[in-house]
Amino acid sequence: MKKLFMIALSLGYLHADLQLDKQIAGITMLGFYGTDIEQNKQIQQELKYGLGGVILFDRNPQDKTKPKNIVDKEQLKKLNAQLQQYSNNSLLIGIDQEGGKIERLKSKMGFIHTPSAKELGAKDDINATKQAYDALASELHETGFTLDFAPVVDLDANPNNTVIVGNERAYGKSPEIVTKHAQIFVDSLKSHGIVSVLKHFPGHGSSLGDSHKGFVDSSTTWKPDELKPFVDINTPMIMSAHIFLEQLDDKYPATLSKKILTDKLRGEMGYKGAIISDDMQMGAIDDNFNRKKSIELALNAGIDMLLYANQNGEEVSLKDIIKIVNELVAEGAVKKERIEVAYERIAHLKNEHKLNTSADVNMTTAMLMDTNNSSKKKSHSKSLKKKKKVQVRVD
């Protein structure tokens, strides 16, 4: 606790309840800038303070001539080893690696290419699907990831849908074909010690809009059978969608809806795992709710982990989240017990999966501290500051 106190003091996090601060940190996942964290003191301190997870990207939305986090396989192994070394919290290191058009690890960087969900669903060969996903999971394990934001279990429910159907991210039109292939993906990830995340609850395949860009009302296109894969597939984590469904909640989008996440998903459907938000900086949330209100609603809705990918606009720090949640607890807007339950769910998930600490990514301290060895790539870390808002896809 003394060590936590000193880190809190150095970062200006100091609040009356350090245990609450630690729990808030543990239910937060952030994106950051840098291909080597030795020059990014802020993410180092956030990891030491107990940050629950990070999400990595290839593209840098602020400078397209530079990568955000990923250059090649050797650099990535080193970065993920650094992240785990600085963390004291069995860090969730996440990535969107679905296959097809949604691959942060690209073949031009030296990584394998995985067929899209549409391709695998159309082929409908379980051996081919298993082979593809075993190879993907093996590479994620080798490079040090502990979580994959996959599989997508949205149905091919609307030919005019751009974000899911248009990007070939759906296995097919029927819940059965989606469930069959998505379960193979989940099993492949699990066999390599990687947490799978079903997305996007309660179903994004019928939408006409894109929640990355703004408010999406799927009330007239959504069908109840879009829920079926979320019932039938055994998964440790589900990602909420930012879509609005009047028939389920006539006031809030799914990520901010207690009726949808607690009453429907947990109550009626019996889901026991963890729930993570889609990126809270997407237009559907950020353009319609201020940050404090969106966090209040998300936590009370049943979100167990808040995701801020830091791909769009003003970058959010762990200090920002801790300050806001402390205020909400002090005001009685969010109960302390809600934070405790969320923290325990994430801790249980980490314990159950015995997160990836393979020898492949556990380099020596000397190697980690030598910023000139191996690839000799310059870090592209950036100080956290307000930037011009750029809409970039976070899937």
Active-site annotation holds for 156: no
**Number of C-alpha atoms within 13 angstroms, CB side, residue 220?**
4
Q: What is the dihedral of CA 156, 157, 162, 167, to 10 degrees?
A: 0
Q: Could you tell me if residue 332 is inside a domain?
A: yes
136 contacts 97 by C-beta, under 8 angstroms: yes
Active-site annotation holds for 212: yes
Place of tokens 């559907």: 284
Catalytic residue, chosen from 278, 279, 304, 320, is 278
Q: What is the dihedral of CA 148, 156, 309, 78, to 10 degrees?
A: 30
pLDDT in tens, 10-53: 555 555 679 999 999 999 999 999 999 998 999 999 999 999 99
For the cut 80, the answer to whether the pLDDT of residue 380 exceeds it is no
What tokens does 72 get?
Answer: 């090649």
Q: Could you tell me if residue 381 is inside a domain?
A: no
Question: At 95, which amino acid appears?
Answer: I
Q: Could you tell me if residue 395 is inside a domain?
A: no
pLDDT in tens, 185-234: 999 999 999 999 999 999 999 998 665 656 789 999 999 999 999 999 99
Cis before residue 67, ω within 30 degrees of 0? no
Other beta carbons within 10 Å of 310: 25
- Residues 6 or more apart whose Cβ sits within 8 Å of residue 203: 154, 155, 157, 218, 222, 223, 226, 227, 230, 241
Q: Could you tell me if residue 349 is inside a domain?
A: yes
Question: At 98, which amino acid appears?
Answer: E
Q: Could you tell me if residue 58 is inside a domain?
A: yes
- Residues 6 or more apart whose Cβ sits within 8 Å of residue 224: none
Q: Of the ranges 149-158, 184-193, 249-258, 381-390, which one carries the lowest mean pLDDT score?
A: 381-390
Catalytic residue, chosen from 141, 181, 212, 242, is 212
CB neighbour burial string for 136-160, b if at least 16 within 10 angstroms, e if fewer: bbebbbbbbbbbbbbbbbbbbbbee
What tokens does 111 get?
Answer: 């990584």
Give the pLDDT score at 376: 38
Quickly state the pLDDT bin for 5 (edges 50, 70, 90): low
Angle at 94 between CA 152 and CA 62, to 5 degrees: 100
Give the pLDDT score at 388: 39
- Residues 6 or more apart whose Cβ sits within 8 Å of residue 83: 37, 47, 54, 91, 93, 144
Helices (H) and strands (E) in the chain, counts: 14, 10
Q: Give the 3-state secondary structure of residue 307.
A: strand
Strands (E) across 72-149 are located at: 92-95, 97-99, 102-103, 147-148
What tokens does 338 get?
Answer: 């809600």
Give the pLDDT score at 16: 62
What tokens does 295 get?
Answer: 């966090």
CA dist 335 and 20 (Å) reads 11
- Residues 6 or more apart whose Cβ sits within 8 Å of residue 96: 55, 102, 104, 148, 149, 150, 394, 395
48 φ, ψ (degrees, to nearest 5): -65, -30
What tokens does 258 get?
Answer: 């207690």
User: What CATH number has the domain bearing residue 82?
Assistant: 3.20.20.300
Task: Print the domain residue range for 241.
Answer: 2-369
Q: Could you tell me if residue 379 is inside a domain?
A: no
As for how many domains the chain has, the answer is 1
Q: Could you tell me if residue 390 is inside a domain?
A: no
For the cut 60, the answer to whether the pLDDT of residue 347 exceeds it is yes
Q: Could you tell me if residue 345 is inside a domain?
A: yes
Give the pLDDT score at 115: 98
37 contacts 44 by C-beta, under 8 angstroms: yes
21 contacts 45 by C-beta, under 8 angstroms: no
pLDDT in tens, 172-185: 999 999 999 999 99
For the cut 60, the answer to whether the pLDDT of residue 357 exceeds it is no
